[in-house]
Copies of this chain bind each other. A is one copy, B any other.
Amino acid sequence: MRIVIIGAGRLASCLAPALRRGGAVVAQVWSRSEASARALASSVGCDAAWGQLEAVLPGADVYLICVRDDAIADVARRLRAVVGSHGVLAHTSGSTSLADIAVTPADAAGVFYPLQSFTRGRDIDFSQVHFFIEATTADAAHRLEALAAAVARPDHVHRLATPERRRMHLAAVFVSNFVNHCCALADDILRPTGVGFDVMRPLLAETVAKLQHLTPGEAQTGPALRWDEGVLAAHSALLADAPLTQHIYALLSESIHTHHETSSQ
């Protein structure tokens, strides 16, 4: 399968080498910036294009749009002529609808969403990543599924419609962005003690290791679960200088407690 990748950001720079290793032909990488396009293209040994979207190669089997969510619809519209009737145009966003990329209902268009957090320079084990596919035609869906299966385990390739994918993207914000931010707040709280965040790393690792086989409901512990009012009040007092964090502490504690009451009824 011949692939063109539109974008050279975090996702594109992780995905392009993985697709090549999985046996796809990455024919071209396009980016607004010449430097980014050249850097990624040279790392996967393909053609680079930049600037106007008219520079994009015609005739590929799949065009994967890996740009910012708010640029997807515009890029899709401008690429349509290049993609032609053979190519499948797909975006890679969790929160953008299929309709945003299908300019007319007859267009072979789709969604190719890898549920993962990508960081430039970090090697992602794509075999573990779950992919969520949606498409306007059966042929487009098959092509995108085959592409996902080139890098991921076959049982990690799923079909999912836009409303469910959006909900999953919201869940992913809790699992990734909010988990990370809880750690950022812990780092702030620790600062006056002179103890570095690294003492927290074994605790974080164990918290998450438990979640690899328990459900989050089964794994919950802590003063909010027990509703230990002495500890809750002492913690809140420690956050008197950080009212937003204090508010977050109160709401998450209330939510843990409510959740537990509901699930143990």
Q: Is A189 positioned at the interface, with any CB of B under 8 Å from its CB?
A: yes
Sort chain A's interface into a size bin.
35 or more
Interface pick from A40-48, A135-143, A208-216: A208-216
Decide: A187 and B217 in contact? CB cutoff 8 A.
Answer: yes
Q: How far is the CB of A182 from chain B (nearest CB, A)?
A: 5
A189 contacts across to B, CB distance below 8 A = 167, 170-171, 174
Report how far A164 CA is from B69 CA in the complex, Å: 43
Chain B proximity mask over A208-252: 1 for CB below 8 Å, otherwise 0: 101110011101111111001011001100110000110111011
Q: A179-B179, A210-B122 are in contact. Are A115 and B199 (CB under 8 A)?
A: yes
Other-chain residue from B182, B197, B230, B247 in contact with A182 (beta carbon distance below 8 A): B182
Q: How far is the CB of A188 from chain B (nearest CB, A)?
A: 8
User: Is chain A's binding surface mostly helix, strand, loop or mixed?
Assistant: helix
Interface residues of A in 59-117 (CB under 8 A from B): 69-70, 95, 115-117
Q: How far is the CB of A225 from chain B (nearest CB, A)?
A: 7
Decide: A228 and B69 in contact? CB cutoff 8 A.
Answer: yes
Report how far A170 CA is from B125 CA in the complex, Å: 34
Q: Is A258 positioned at the interface, with any CB of B under 8 Å from its CB?
A: yes
Chain B: CB-nearest residue to A229: B70
Decide: A190 and B171 in contact? CB cutoff 8 A.
Answer: yes
Q: Is A177 positioned at the interface, with any CB of B under 8 Å from its CB?
A: yes
Decide: A256 and B167 in contact? CB cutoff 8 A.
Answer: no
- List 15 contacting pairs A-B, 8 Å CB cutoff, sorted by A: A69-B230, A95-B223, A115-B202, A117-B206, A119-B219, A160-B193, A170-B189, A170-B238, A170-B239, A174-B186, A175-B203, A178-B252, A181-B252, A181-B255, A248-B255
